């Protein structure tokens, strides 16, 4: 006898309409999420823990709608939470055996905002250890697998967030991004990931990796769903309202040379991104090639920040409980011992110039488009002998603080590729508008998984 089918969970707008018409309850919607997880997660390994209060939140959402209280577009909508973000009543494992096992006393600020908007956190999902590096096979949980090909990595560190959304277990997920940890897994898994402007979304209750760079944001199946979630995480952004505006009349700077000249760039990725620029042009945007600041220098500044701050933050745990740490995270954090506080100060002193360089590229453009990653998701086998550098173009915008997102841009060898869109500080609405136009023009968003 075969198990009953568990289809992907419905899009947020479809579920929201069904909740309000009485065709669906929040409790029933939550059960559909749980059924999808039960059917697929044995292979995907995205979900680490169920949130025990989810059923009560769903019941409360149903009772409120029945009583005429509507909290908005996310009322009754389930979502998953990266396990570096506190959910009251559950320990935040940060993917590490060395984490404090005490359950979180309160929700992280972003979780609280989503619950206040009626959303229902249903599960904690996978992360690379402390958000640093992976996939590490020696941890308490094996790493999440890419839903498009389980032999491939998801990228990280928001590995479970991207995998769960790509696998149709949820439409929405909370992720965090210090050097690309939202955008890279979103690109590798074929979903949308948004790193807001630094400081736009509160990080209280989220494990710090590098406070100079850390940013919390949404991962979602489509641009519209990411916008709905971002508008809750960062009230006042108002990104959902402008998604219909299109790109006609906009000027988009294509940072092509910034990634195409890198020998690590897969030619199939370059072709897809050239096609993406063409699609935006056909949709009415003016495309101009732009020069961006020296990538290697931006990466150097970001790497120094992450490793000095990472070692400073984790030294107590590593010195007291080092035997509980995984090997990849240990190697990465300990390597930071070659750096000094002077190196960090030097990196921080470069930020205004680097940021001004990106601002200059944006001075005649409404947004920039470039690569998220330079290859599709690598195979797990590539990591058999330890951490491997995976080429991408995400860290610079953590350094400068500009908002950036990744949106699906097609497939190379059956694996998703992402287009990165970067905007002026505070202009999340602008980059989501471009992403929505791109999604409409190409149909690359929310492509169903093969059976």
Catalytic positions, written as ranges: 82, 157, 181
Per the listing, tokens 């300990």 go with 334
Binder among 170, 318, 362, 419 for other proteins (CB under 8 A) = 318
Torsion region of 218: left, alpha or beta (phi above 0 gives left; psi -120 to 50 gives alpha): beta
Closest to other proteins by CB, 65 or 301: 301
CB of 347 to other proteins, least distance (A): 6
- Which residues within the stretch 253-312 sit at the binding site for other proteins (CB under 8 A)? 296-297, 299-301, 303-304, 307, 311
Closest to other proteins by CB, 134 or 190: 134
Beta bridge partners of 49: 124
Ranges of beta strands (E only) in 142-269 are 145-146, 149-153, 172-177, 192-195, 215-220, 251-254
Exposure of 175 in the CB half-sphere (CA atoms within 13 A) = 38
Q: How far apart are CA 27 and CA 10, in angstroms?
A: 14
- Which residues within the stretch 349-408 sit at the binding site for other proteins (CB under 8 A)? 349-350, 386-387
Binder among 334, 411, 425, 447 for other proteins (CB under 8 A) = 334
Longest dimension (CA), the chain: 65
Query: Interface with other proteins includes 329 (CB under 8 A)?
Result: no
Q: How far apart are CA 251 and CA 254, in angstroms?
A: 10
| Beta strands 192-195 and 215-220, pairing class | antiparallel
CB of 373 to other proteins, least distance (A): 19
Closest to other proteins by CB, 15 or 308: 308
- The interface region with other proteins, picked from 38-46, 153-161, 231-239, 332-340 by CB under 8 A, is 332-340
The token pair that represents 437 in the structure block: 């136009």
Binder among 50, 315, 351, 447 for other proteins (CB under 8 A) = 315
Q: How many residues form the binding site for other proteins (CB under 8 A)?
A: 33
| Beta strands 120-125 and 47-50, pairing class | antiparallel
Closest to other proteins by CB, 109 or 318: 318
Beta bridge partners of 85: 206
Query: Interface with other proteins includes 324 (CB under 8 A)?
Result: no
Closest to other proteins by CB, 35 or 315: 315
Q: What angle do CA 289, 291, 294 make, to 5 degrees?
A: 150
CB of 330 to other proteins, least distance (A): 6
- The interface region with other proteins, picked from 73-81, 238-246, 337-345, 408-416 by CB under 8 A, is 337-345
Query: Interface with other proteins includes 331 (CB under 8 A)?
Result: yes
Alpha helices by DSSP H, listed for 45-182, are 54-66, 109-116, 159-166
CB of 316 to other proteins, least distance (A): 9
Alpha helices by DSSP H, listed for 127-166, are 159-166
- The contact set with other proteins (CB under 8 A) reads 296-297, 299-301, 303-304, 307, 311, 315, 318-319, 322, 327-328, 330-332, 334-340, 342-343, 346-347, 349-350, 386-387
């Amino acid at each position: 006898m075969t198990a009953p089918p568990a289809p992907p969970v419905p899009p947020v707008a479809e579920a929201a309409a069904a909740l309000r018409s009485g065709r669906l309850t929040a409790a029933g919607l939550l059960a559909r999420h749980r059924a999808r997880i039960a059917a697929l997660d044995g292979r995907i390994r995205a979900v680490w823990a169920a949130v025990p209060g989810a059923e009560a939140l769903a019941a409360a959402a149903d009772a409120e709608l029945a009583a005429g209280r509507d909290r908005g577009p996310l009322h009754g909508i389930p979502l998953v939470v990266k396990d570096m973000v506190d959910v009251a009543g559950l320990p935040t494992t940060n993917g590490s055996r060395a984490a404090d096992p005490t359950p979180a006393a309160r929700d992280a600020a972003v979780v609280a905002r989503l619950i206040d908007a009626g959303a229902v956190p249903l599960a904690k999902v996978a992360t690379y250890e402390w958000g640093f590096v992976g996939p590490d096979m020696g941890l308490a949980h094996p790493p999440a697998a890419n839903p498009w090909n389980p032999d491939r990595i998801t990228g990280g560190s928001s590995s479970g967030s991207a995998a769960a959304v790509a696998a149709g277990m949820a439409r929405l997920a909370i992720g965090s991004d210090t050097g690309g940890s939202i955008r890279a897994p979103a690109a590798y898994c074929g979903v949308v990931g948004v790193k807001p402007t630094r400081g736009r979304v509160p990080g209280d209750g989220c494990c710090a990796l590098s406070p100079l760079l850390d940013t919390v944001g949404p991962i979602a199946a489509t641009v519209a769903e990411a916008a709905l979630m971002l508008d809750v995480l960062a009230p006042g952004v108002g990104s959902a309202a402008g998604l219909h505006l299109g790109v006609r009349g906009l000027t988009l700077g294509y940072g092509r040379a910034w990634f195409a000249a890198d020998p690590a760039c897969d030619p199939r990725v370059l072709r897809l991104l050239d096609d993406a620029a063409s699609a935006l042009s056909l949709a009415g945007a003016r495309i101009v090639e732009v020069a961006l600041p020296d990538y290697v220098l931006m990466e150097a500044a970001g790497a120094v920040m992450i490793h000095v701050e990472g070692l400073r933050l984790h030294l107590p745990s590593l010195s007291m409980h080092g035997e509980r740490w995984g090997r990849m995270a240990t190697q990465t954090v300990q390597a930071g011992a070659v750096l000094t506080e002077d190196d960090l100060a030097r990196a921080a002193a470069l930020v205004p110039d680097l940021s001004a360089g990106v601002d200059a590229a944006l001075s005649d453009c409404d947004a920039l488009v470039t690569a998220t990653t330079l290859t599709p998701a690598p195979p797990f086998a590539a990591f058999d002998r330890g951490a491997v550098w995976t080429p991408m173009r995400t860290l610079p915008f953590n350094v400068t603080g500009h908002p950036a997102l990744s949106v699906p841009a097609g497939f190379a060898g059956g694996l998703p590729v992402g287009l990165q869109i970067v905007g002026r500080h505070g202009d999340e609405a602008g980059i989501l508008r471009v992403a929505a136009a791109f999604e409409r023009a190409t149909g690359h968003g929310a492509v169903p998984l093969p059976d």
